A and B are shown apart, each in its own frame.
Chain A
Amino acid sequence: MTVISQSLSRLWRALFLQPAAYEEMREDNNPFVEGLFLIASVGLAVALARLIGDLLEWASSPQLSAVQEVVYRNLLQMPWYQTMFEQAGQPFAEQFRQQYEWGWRVLPRLLGAPDPGMAAFNLLLTPLGLIVSWLIYGLLAHIVARLLGGEGTLAQTLGTTALAVAPQLFNLAELFPALVVGGVVGAWTLLCRYMGLRVAHDLSWPRALIATLAPGLILSLLIGLLVAAGLALAIPILSVATGGSR
């Protein structure tokens, strides 16, 4: 119990950028395990809060299939539909129905319609996603920080950057249905990562800033290169397949 309350207290202080929280993590016996525990716990708590929020929102909204049917029935009565139907006949009606159904399969999820099934699945995906992104970020940030003259170990880097999960605590507010936390978590996470890297490697502020931002830039560059390589491979293949090589 003491360990959990200590971890929570550290997380809370890390959220408000108190250097002592990051220093404690750096000096911890096993910062990696401590960080892993923190991230998994916060991820699970956030996913649980979102599940409750989603369930409440789902229970207070009409069934999506019923909404889909109402909208479809009314669209068929609109003048523009009637005009199109008179001009193009049954093929238009069939095509319209297909596109409408496809839209309803994709759009509600994109627009954040409550989906308790997905929210339940997120009990697994949220902690896992947070852990994977932490490990990738931590590793890249560690390499950059060392190149910039940092002296921390990998375990210390991972430990202090794990405290950057603290802003996820804001997401616990999504327990309330229809509440949107928004971009504050991303910006705050960046701040906590900056503090973590600065303390773990004892870097000056410009170097800590570079080490904080570099992993994001490196990842974007890698993704860009992969996309470019994919396109470079796909275009000749498509060109051959469609007979464009003549």
Chain B
Amino acid sequence: MTTLWTTLRDVLMLRTQAFLTFRDDPDGLRRGVTWLMVITLIAGALTFVVDLTQSLQPLETRLADVERGVEEAFAQMERFLPPGQMPPGFREQFRSNFRAGLRIGAEVEALPTLLPKPLGALFEAMGSWLSRPFARLGGWLGYALWVMLAARLLGGTGGLRGFLATTSLYAIPQLLAFFNPVPCLGALLNLVAAVWGWAIYVKATAVAHGWVSFVETSEGATIEYTDWGRAIVAVLLPLLVAGMLVLLVVVALILVAVLS
């Protein structure tokens, strides 16, 4: 247990040794993936409880909540739109159609099912909660493949397994997403987790690809040197390339539209 806490702390403090341990451990990838999944489950636990509690509320309460949400969205929209921008009668028409939709939802909800209703709600909330680690795993892996390629093209020497094992540690600060359902604080902590996660990702890339070196001084002390520049470029390159491709497509579409 102490080792676990020490590793967690060292990763969060970007200490090289913690990353080296993961990189060089033959079982590092399994450990990293397990951490990523468990952390995502813990981070989503409060949201799961909130979702489950909401779905077990009486139907009328839930429908009223949805309707209030839509009314609030309309009020927000009216605040930001210039006066007269919304077509006359649009709100009433939308409201009437929306209520008809809610009525359909209510009638479908009242239809009988083979298993007791609360079990269905539990399945739904649990399914959504248990899907989160897979979604995170997919996003992490999909991006990591491109970063790995960029790092190799930039002269990185790291192996695939070590790279994946170390970068999986980016998930640790995502524990802060536990507070996601808390208004204001949740969004703020999400931002902190995202920035911290990126910092860990960059450090992990540097360690995995041999861009961290140890230089011994004449006094016998060891100074650590991290090539942050190359690591940052490797991590951001896939994003930049994707952004440029999107820009090119948009420009091409505009040109086609103008020329035709």
Q: Do A and B bind each other?
A: yes
A18: Cβ under 8 A from any B Cβ:
yes
Residues of A within 8 A of B96 (CB): 79
Interface positions of B from 171 to 230, Cβ below 8 Å from A: none
B236: Cβ under 8 A from any A Cβ:
no
User: How far is it, in angstroms, between the C-alpha of A63 and the C-alpha of B112 when the chains are bound?
Assistant: 8
Q: Which of A63, A66, A71, A173 contacts B104 (CB 8 A)?
A: A71
A183: Cβ under 8 A from any B Cβ:
yes
Contact yes or no, B100 A74, CB < 8 A: yes
Contact yes or no, B142 A183, CB < 8 A: yes
Count of B interface residues, CB-CB < 8 Å: 38
B108: Cβ under 8 A from any A Cβ:
yes
Residues of B within 8 A of A16 (CB): 27, 29-30, 33, 161
Residues of B within 8 A of A80 (CB): 97
A60: Cβ under 8 A from any B Cβ:
yes
B8: Cβ under 8 A from any A Cβ:
no
Give the residue name and chain of the A residue nearest to B128 (CB).
Answer: A178
B45: Cβ under 8 A from any A Cβ:
no
- Interface range on chain A: under 10, 10 to 19, 20 to 34, or 35 or more? 35 or more
Contact yes or no, A70 B111, CB < 8 A: yes
Residues of B within 8 A of A205 (CB): 152
Q: Which of B30, B100, B111 contacts A62 (CB 8 A)?
A: B111
B137: Cβ under 8 A from any A Cβ:
yes
Per-residue contact bits, chain B 139-150, to A (CB 8 Å; 1 contact, 0 not)? 001100100010
Per-residue contact bits, chain A 169-187, to B (CB 8 Å; 1 contact, 0 not)? 0100100111111111001
Per-residue contact bits, chain A 48-65, to B (CB 8 Å; 1 contact, 0 not)? 000000001111111100
Give the residue name and chain of the A residue nearest to B162 (CB).
Answer: A17
Residues of A within 8 A of B135 (CB): 180, 182
Residues of B within 8 A of A56 (CB): 115, 123
User: How far is it, in angstroms, between the C-alpha of A188 and the C-alpha of B135 when the chains are bound?
Assistant: 13
Give the residue name and chain of the B residue nearest to A206 (CB).
Answer: B152
Minimum C-beta distance from A157 to chain B (A): 19
Contact yes or no, A182 B111, CB < 8 A: no
User: How far is it, in angstroms, between the C-alpha of A173 and the C-alpha of B100 when the chains are bound?
Assistant: 37
Residues of B within 8 A of A58 (CB): 114
A6: Cβ under 8 A from any B Cβ:
no
Contact yes or no, A74 B138, CB < 8 A: no
Per-residue contact bits, chain A 72-108, to B (CB 8 Å; 1 contact, 0 not)? 0010011110000000000000000000000000000
Give the residue name and chain of the B residue nearest to A61 (CB).
Answer: B113
Contact yes or no, A173 B113, CB < 8 A: no
Per-residue contact bits, chain B 154-168, to A (CB 8 Å; 1 contact, 0 not)? 000000110010000
Q: Which of B27, B111, B127 contacts A66 (CB 8 A)?
A: B111
What are some 10 contacts across the A-B interface (CB < 8 A)? Answer: A16-B29, A17-B29, A59-B113, A60-B115, A62-B113, A178-B128, A180-B134, A180-B135, A184-B137, A194-B160
Closest 6 CB pairs of A and B: A178-B127, A62-B111, A60-B120, A184-B138, A59-B114, A177-B123
